[in-house]
Amino acid sequence: MQNDGIREIGIDDEGRLYVRPSSSSFSHIYRTATGVDWDEERRRLHSPKPREWSYIRWFEQITADALGEYGIRLTVTEDTAWSNVPDELRTAISKAAS
């Protein structure tokens, strides 16, 4: 298993949660058929826009898919940037990641 710090966590203009790893690439993550996808241009994983699942649940799914399919544990670090993420959600994601 490898660890990769998360460079950025955010919510895009379409309302999707995204996680940008520091160095890993996940071009075939779609094979998990969970709804998690890889944006090659932006080099980030993203969820669909939440409907039944919360942002926290999607964060957990993104990190679980990265670990399960690639053996890479994505970790929130002191250097993780947060974009368009409300403070309450940031706190909840940080707790879920620890």
* Overall residue count recorded for the chain in this entry: 98
Q: Which domain holds residue 75?
A: 2-97
Beta bridge partners of 66: none
Among residues of the chain, what percentage have pLDDT more than 70? 100
Question: 22 burial class (0-12, 13-18, 19+ CB within 10 angstroms)?
Answer: middle
| Alpha-carbon gap, residue 17 to 89, rounded angstroms | 11
Express each pLDDT in 26-53 by its tens digit: 999 988 889 999 999 999 999 999 889 9
pLDDT tops 90 at residue 62? yes
For residue 32, the model assigns a pLDDT of 83
- As for how many domains the chain has, the answer is 1
Express each pLDDT in 83-95 by its tens digit: 999 999 999 999 9
pLDDT tops 90 at residue 97? no
Give pTM, 2 decimals.
0.94
- Average pLDDT of the chain to the nearest whole number: 95
